[in-house]
Amino acid sequence: MRLLAAMMKHETNTFSPVPTDLRRFARGADRPPEGAAAHAAYAGTGTALGAFIDLATQQGASLDIAVAGNAAPSGRVPDQVFEYFCDRILEAAHGGYDAVLLDLHGAMVT
């Protein structure tokens, strides 16, 4: 079984004047991890994405991770950042998967 996963989490504070740029979703890197880097970062972490990884491994399924971004509560998300996540997920979804697993949270405002 081929699975695709992605994580996009953010709780927008519309009172904050500071936009939530892509780096805030990357926790210190230039952009959120994808593929093997996301797999290594989240396997065994007790997060929803970590559970996807662990369960896929236990079941012998292949799991590709399109993108894994999680920003702390902060200001509005610029449209191009939201589109970055959507583009990664949609591009990956063309790979012919049996299921797509999304780890979503928050009330994101662009």
Could you give the CA distance from residue 93 to residue 12 in angstroms, rounded to a whole number? Answer: 26
Is residue 53 one of the residues assigned to a domain?
yes
Is residue 13 one of the residues assigned to a domain?
yes
Domain hosting 47: range is 2-105
- pLDDT means per 10 residues in the chain (110 residues)? 98 95 94 98 96 98 98 97 98 95 94
Could you give the CA distance from residue 35 to residue 49 in angstroms, rounded to a whole number? Answer: 12
User: Does residue 12 sit in helix, strand or coil?
Assistant: strand
Is residue 38 one of the residues assigned to a domain?
yes
Is residue 51 one of the residues assigned to a domain?
yes
Is residue 110 one of the residues assigned to a domain?
no
Q: Report the domain count for the chain.
A: 1
Give residues with Cβ within 8 angstroms of 73, minimum separation 6.
10, 11, 12, 13
Buried b (16+ CB within 10 A) or exposed e, 3-41: bbbbbbbbebbeeeeeebebebbbeeeeebbbeeebbeb
User: So what's the pLDDT on residue 38?
Assistant: 98
User: Does residue 26 sit in helix, strand or coil?
Assistant: helix
Is residue 11 one of the residues assigned to a domain?
yes
pTM over 0.75: yes
18, 75 contact by CB (below 8 A): yes
Q: What is the radius of gyration, based on Cα positions, of the chain?
A: 14
Is residue 23 one of the residues assigned to a domain?
yes
